[in-house]
Each structure stands twice: as C-alpha cells, then as structure tokens.
C-alpha cells in the first residue's frame, strides 16, 4: 500500500523525524517540547509569514478550556471524544473536565504515533481516560475500537470535540462526520474550531504564503467559511452566539470586545452544536 | 519599492531588493536554491565549473557567495548557474543582483551616523524587509520611538553625536515606515519598556505612548504589550526580518535575518530566536488589550 517509504494516505501513522507533522509543529508553536528540528523549522516558516499564529493557537486552546468547562460544569456532559487531540499539553480535556467531575471519561484520538504513545504514558494511572491511535477518517475503525467502547457509553450524551482538526479533512472526506453524529445519542454536543481565510486582503496574502508552505511540506489543509462550517453541524442546534471567530465564542473576560484588527482572531472560527 | 524586472521575467514575479545588501543576500538565496534544486554539493559544483582549479578554492568561493559575502565575476557566475541548469531568465535575474559598483554617497547625510559595516548592513536589510518583528524588553525599539524618546534614550553621549544619531533614526522612519509599500511590523513590548522612564522631561514618555498608539492604528503595524516582564534570555531588543525572495514564487520562508541589540544573529541561532518570538506573541496581551494598557498607563500618570 505504501509507496517507497511514504506514509499511507489513510490510517494511523508512525512518527517520522524527517518530515514535519501537524501534531509536532503545533506543539512547537505552543511552546511544547515534543518536536524534531524539521517541525521547529516548519513552525518558524509559518510564523515568519504569519507572525501572530502563536496567538491564534492560544485562542484555540482557551476555547477548548472554556467549552469543556461549560459542557462538564453546566451541561452535565461526562464523556468526551477528542478527535485529533495532538500531543498532550497543559490543561488538556481530561484535566479540565476531571477537575470538575473526576468520573468524566475522555478518549483522545490521533493518527500520529508519538502523540498517542505520550498520551498513554501520561494517562497510565487514569482509569477514565485513554488515547487511541487511529485515523478519524475511518469511523468504523474508531467506533469499533475496544478501548473506546470500554470507556464510552453511547446511550449517554457524549461531547464530540473537533478542535483544529477538520481543516485537515478534504471536502470529499468530510461527510464521515455524519457517522459519528449518528453514533451518539440526542443531547450530545459537537464542538468545532476551524481555520478560515482572513478577511483583510493583507492578512489573507500572508496566510496564503504560510498555507502554501504548510500544505506542500507538512500537511494539506482546507480553510472553510462560516457557511461551510455550519453545514458540518447538519441539523444540530447551534448554540449562542453561533459560528464566530474563536476568541468571540462566549469569552469569560467581561471586558472582552471583538477586535476586527486582531489578525490572529481573523484566522479561525468556532461553534458548538447540540445534537437532536 | 521592489521593482518588477520587465518582460523578460514574466515567468516569475521578481522582486529585486532596493539596497546592495538586500540584493547580495537575494543572490545568495537564489544560488543556494538553484544548487539544492540541482542536487549538487558545493564541492560538486566547484568541480563542474572549474575542472582545472583546486576544488577547495572553488568551493570556498561558492560558500561565500551563498553566505552573501563574496562576489564573483559575471562570467563565472553565469557558468555556475548554467551548471545548475538555471533558466536564462533566472540567470539574467542573478546578474541583476550581482554587486557591480559601490555608490559612495549612499551613507551621506543623517545616515552617516551609521558608520560600521554591520550597522549599515542592518539598516539596508530593514529597508528591504517584507516584515519586521521586534521584541523590546527594556527600551522602545528605534523604529517605533518618537523623536524626543529617541533623543532621550541617547543620553550620556556628546550633544552633537546625540543629535546626529537621532536624525539617523528619523531617516530610517522615513525610509521604512513611510515608504510606499511599507513592511508588516509586529512588535511585542515588555511592560518594563514603559516603567523605565527615559532620562529627560516627563513629557517624553507621554509623547512616546501617543506615538505608539498612533503607529498601532496603522493597518500594517501591530503592537502587543507583554506583562510577563522581560523576555527570558533576551536583554537587548530582538529584531527578526523577513526579506522577499528574489523569485517570489520560490519563496520558501527560510529567508530571514535578525539581530540582538546591535549584533547580527548567527544563522545557527536564528531558529532559537524565532522560538522566543513565538512564546512572546503567545503570552502577550491581545492587540486591543495592549492599546487599552497604553491608554490606562498614560491616564494613571
Ligand atoms: C493542529 S493539531 C490540534 C490539536 C488539538 N485538537 C488542539 O486543538 O489543541 C491537529 C491534530 O490533528 C491530528 N490529525 C489530523 N488529521 C487527523 C486524522 N485524519 N486522524 C487523526 N488525527 C488527525 C494531527 O495529528 C494533530 O495532532
């Protein structure tokens, strides 16, 4: 199936130190410590073109924390599946959720071997959380995974978390989300954060430069606009305030006002839907 | 402004640097790119071009060319690029970039205050940069300083020199900030830049705060304040520049330079300095909150 040394197009992957990977480049930009020189170089190329990218990634992590806090604390969700969870980093889903409700079940999924191995190591003593090595584009595999089945009860609501991962999925592959939506019961939630094209021509030009490099040398990406992201939610009820720029989604800072000049803000959208 | 190279270059929208330093580094990047594309080592390349010559000498010349600190006769350059399989249009571009004559009066007027090779090299690069990132830990970087602040910051120097250096800074503002196609400027300033009052009348800091607020209002300038104290590992200001690649469509985003204080950052340390940049941007206040910080800071005084 593999062409000389190349990773297969589908399925879980081994960590390859000679080629940058989305998980490790992201870890590098977030100030982590699980990356190779190729990832550092790829991250730096991206930041050179788009100097505020590290702020965007921070907005994304803050959104994750706000949402998980809300779903666990206010909406009573006690099970999460985190799709494309990346390398374990500060205030991860299980830490935020289990601080509120220690019995909360969390399953992390990533197709990058290094991310999953490290996750398992960290979660070794946590009976309610695990990490599985799978490609989310193969929902039948994912949903049949014994570790996932062991933790998640599909008769109770689940938080399906898709932070900064769906822009790695092409339009043709995207309908697989439907499979996950149908697997969970009504009252479950779908959470999405997603890369989008900047509104101002100036920033869009910089973004283009970064994207070209990333797509060619790290992984292909598909930016989507509000309507396209709304379509992913299907018939779910999209919660207030709708699909908005990431830091605008229910900010906890009372002094927060959306800043149209904030370039990092322009680059990502987020939303939460309640499945019916 | 980088000028388009006429009809011969239609295949590549070329952006030739304004300054000799910029062009020298563009030539370096172009030669490196073409050699890598041809899959040749510097030694292979030297052997191909000059089979008779000691290959060590030839390799040295190629290495210097790719570092941007050695010239080469036009005929040799053309032969080298032919060996790399470069297209005629690219060879023509390379010849345009090749240093030919040095204009003596380039450093006259207020810019005469820049009298070392490394400061001139930097001032040239700043003028050619597509983007400039600044990390200020103790002082407002020159490029964002208002006249009175720049002058105050030079306290302790003889009056005439102080005036000359201030004028030199203002001339950089003209050439960089006010040029037709200005660079993207991103600055992260530690709050100690504001707590540390420059010598001179108290109005200086106020003027500087107003100046910074006005600059941040321009679409190509973003200012963020960092409330985490000085950036660890950097005492002096850090500057990172990105130059446009001479062949824009080849831009691989590795084309970057920097300096800490007045010292150029060696290539081997650039990536580590980039890491400092990322952590500064990630932890600094959002741009809107930074402006609020500047405003409140001024009100409190
Ligand atoms: C940008 S990171 C986001 C990490 C984390 N969700 C967050 O938002 O902080 C994207 C992650 O998605 C993973 N990923 C991308 N495509 C995937 C796929 N088809 N299956 C599983 N994981 C995937 C990458 O390996 C990477 O770890």
Residue for token digits 């990490």? A131
Judged by CB atoms closer than 8 Å, whether chains meet at A47 and B278 is answered as yes
Q: What is the DSSP string of A177-234?
A: HHHHHHHSPTT-EEEEEEE---SSHHHHHHHHHHHHHHHHHT-------HHHHHHHHT
Name the CATH superfamily for A52-197+221-274: Vaccinia Virus protein VP39 (3.40.50.150)
B283/B262 same-domain check: yes
Distance CA A39, CA A33 (A): 11
Distance CA B28, CA B80 (A): 13
Residue having the nearest C-alpha atom to atom 9 of ligand 1 = A61
B179/B249 same-domain check: yes
**B89 falls within a domain:** yes
The answer to whether the bond into A241 is cis (omega within 30° of 0) is yes
A146: Cβ contacts below 8 Å, ≥ 6 apart? none
| Best of A10, A20, A23 for a ligand 1 pocket test (most atoms within 8 Å of beta carbon) | A23
- Decide if pLDDT at A159 tops 90: yes
Q: Please identify, among B97, B129, B149, the residue that sits at the C-terminal boundary of a domain.
A: B97
B216: Cβ contacts below 8 Å, ≥ 6 apart? B222, B223, B287, B290, B291, B294
B44/B114 same-domain check: no
B256's enclosing H/E stretch is strand B256-260
Q: Which of B142, B201, B130 minimizes the C-alpha distance to B172?
A: B142
Using alpha carbons, list the distances in angstroms from residue A273 to A61, A71, A88. Answer: 19, 11, 25
B162/B266 same-domain check: yes
Report ipTM for this prediction: 0.91
- Decide if pLDDT at B61 tops 60: yes
Domain range for B250 is: 109-300
B24: Cβ contacts below 8 Å, ≥ 6 apart? B68, B69, B97, B99
**B40 falls within a domain:** yes
| Pairing outcome for strands A79-83 and A159-163 | parallel
- Decide if pLDDT at B9 tops 50: no
Distance CA A21, CA A178 (A): 26
Residue B203's domain is classified under what CATH number? 3.30.870
B83/B179 same-domain check: no
Q: Give the SS3 label for residue A107.
A: strand
Residue having the nearest C-alpha atom to atom 12 of ligand 1 = A84
**Residues A51 and B184: beta-carbon distance below 8 Å:** yes
**B192 falls within a domain:** yes
**B3 falls within a domain:** no
- Decide if pLDDT at B225 tops 80: yes
Domain ranges of chain A: 52-197+221-274
Distance CA A97, CA A67 (A): 10
A60's enclosing H/E stretch is helix A53-73
Sign of torsion over alpha carbons A13, A19, A21, A24: positive
Judged by CB atoms closer than 8 Å, whether chains meet at A257 and B277 is answered as no
Does A257 lie at the interface with B, CB-CB under 8 angstroms? yes
Q: Give the SS3 label for residue A237.
A: strand
Domains in chain B, number:
2
pLDDT class of B12 with cuts at 50, 70, 90: low
B146/B259 same-domain check: yes
**B266 falls within a domain:** yes
B191/B92 same-domain check: no
Distance CA A70, CA A191 (A): 12
Q: How many CB atoms lie within 10 A of CB A22?
A: 23
Which among A30, A52, A257 is the nearest to B186, CB-wise? A52
**191-210 in A: which are within 8 Å (CB) of B?**
200, 202, 206, 209-210
CA distance B271 to chain A (A): 7
**B117 falls within a domain:** yes
Residue B89's domain is classified under what CATH number? 1.10.260.40
- Decide if pLDDT at B201 tops 80: yes
Q: Which atom of ligand 1 is nearest to the CA of A26?
A: 1
Dump pLDDT digits (tens) for A112-137. 999 999 999 999 999 999 999 999 99
B87/B191 same-domain check: no
Provide, as residue numbers in chain B, all residues whose Cβ is less than 8 Å from the Cβ of A41: 254, 271
Provide, as residue numbers in chain A, all residues whose Cβ is less than 8 Å from the Cβ of B284: 55
Distance CA A131, CA B175 (A): 54
B124/B257 same-domain check: yes
Judged by CB atoms closer than 8 Å, whether chains meet at A259 and B222 is answered as no
Report how far ligand 1's centroid is from the alpha carbon of A85 (Å): 5
Give the binding-site residues of ligand 1, using a 6 Å CB cut-off: A 22-23, 26, 60-61, 64, 84-86, 109-112, 115, 135-137, 163-165, 168
pLDDT class of B281 with cuts at 50, 70, 90: very high
B143/B115 same-domain check: yes
Distance CA B190, CA B228 (A): 7
Long-range interactions of B40-43: CB distance < 8 A, separation 24+: B40/B83, B40/B84, B42/B66
User: Which pair of tokens denotes residue A214?
Assistant: 């990333």
B21/B133 same-domain check: no
pLDDT score of B271:
87
Dump pLDDT digits (tens) for B112-163. 999 998 899 999 999 999 999 999 988 999 999 999 999 999 999 999 999 9
- Decide if pLDDT at B8 tops 80: no
Q: What is the mean pLDDT of chain B?
A: 86
Residue having the nearest C-alpha atom to atom 4 of ligand 1 = A86
Report how far ligand 1's centroid is from the alpha carbon of A167 (Å): 9
Lowest model confidence (mean pLDDT) among A82-91, A243-252, B61-70, B202-211: B61-70
B124/B242 same-domain check: yes
Judged by CB atoms closer than 8 Å, whether chains meet at B279 and A54 is answered as yes
- Decide if pLDDT at B51 tops 80: no
B186's enclosing H/E stretch is strand B184-190
């Amino acid at each position: 199936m593999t062409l000389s040394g190349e990773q297969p197009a589908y399925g879980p992957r081994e960590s390859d130190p000679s080629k940058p990977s989305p998980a490790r480049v992201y870890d590098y930009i977030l100030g982590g410590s699980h990356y190779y020189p190729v990832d550092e170089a790829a991250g730096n190329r991206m930041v050179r073109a788009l100097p505020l990218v590290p702020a965007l990634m921070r907005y994304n992590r803050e959104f994750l924390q706000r949402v998980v806090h809300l779903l666990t604390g206010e909406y009573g969700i006690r099970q999460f599946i985190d799709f494309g969870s990346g390398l374990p980093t500060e205030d991860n889903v299980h830490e935020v959720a289990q601080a509120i409700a220690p019995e909360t079940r969390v399953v992390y999924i990533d197709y990058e071997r290094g991310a999953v191995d490290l996750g398992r190591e960290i979660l070794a003593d946590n009976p309610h959380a695990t990490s599985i090595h799978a490609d989310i584009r193969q929902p039948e595999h994912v949903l049949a995974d014994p570790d996932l089945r062991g933790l998640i009860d599909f008769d109770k609501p689940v938080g399906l978390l898709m932070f900064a991962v769906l822009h790695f999925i092409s339009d043709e592959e995207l309908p697989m989300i439907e499979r996950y939506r149908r697997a969970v019961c009504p009252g479950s939630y779908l959470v999405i954060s997603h890369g989008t094209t900047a509104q101002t021509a100036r920033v869009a030009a910089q973004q283009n430069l970064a994207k070209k490099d990333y797509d060619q040398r790290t992984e292909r990406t598909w930016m989507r606009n509000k309507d396209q992201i709304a379509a992913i939610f299907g018939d779910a009820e999209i919660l207030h305030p709708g699909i908005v720029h990431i830091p605008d989604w229910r900010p906890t800072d009372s002094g927060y006002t959306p800043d149209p000049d904030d370039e990092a803000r322009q680059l990502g959208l987020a939303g939460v839907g309640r499945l019916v | 402004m980088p000028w388009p190279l006429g009809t011969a270059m239609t295949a590549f929208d070329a952006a030739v640097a304004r300054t000799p330093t910029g062009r020298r580094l563009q030539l370096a990047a172009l030669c490196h790119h073409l050699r890598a594309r041809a899959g040749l080592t510097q030694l292979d390349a030297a052997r191909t071009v000059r089979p008779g010559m000691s290959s060590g000498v030839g390799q040295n010349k190629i290495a210097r060319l790719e570092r941007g600190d050695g010239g080469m006769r036009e005929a040799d350059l053309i032969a080298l690029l032919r060996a790399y399989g470069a297209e005629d249009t690219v060879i023509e571009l390379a010849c345009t970039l090749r240093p030919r004559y040095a204009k003596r009066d380039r450093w006259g007027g207020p810019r005469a205050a820049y009298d070392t090779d490394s400061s001139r090299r930097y001032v040239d690069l700043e003028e050619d940069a597509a983007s400039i990132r600044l990390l200020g830990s103790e002082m407002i970087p020159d490029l964002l300083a208002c006249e009175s602040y720049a002058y105050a910051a030079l306290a302790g120097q003889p009056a005439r020199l102080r005036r000359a250096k201030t004028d030199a800074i203002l001339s950089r503002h003209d050439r960089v900030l006010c040029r037709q196609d200005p660079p993207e400027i991103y600055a992260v300033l530690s709050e100690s830049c504001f707590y540390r009052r420059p010598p001179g009348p108290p109005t200086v800091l106020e003027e500087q705060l107003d100046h910074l607020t006005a600059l941040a209002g321009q679409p190509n300038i973003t200012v963020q304040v960092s409330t985490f104290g000085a950036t660890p590992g950097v005492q002096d200001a850090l500057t990172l520049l990105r130059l446009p690649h001479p062949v824009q469509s080849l831009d691989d985003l590795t084309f970057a330079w920097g300096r800490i204080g007045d010292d150029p950052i060696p290539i081997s340390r650039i990536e580590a300095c980039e890491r400092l940049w990322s952590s500064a941007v990630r932890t600094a206040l959002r741009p809107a909150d930074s402006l609020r910080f500047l405003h409140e800071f001024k009100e409190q005084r």
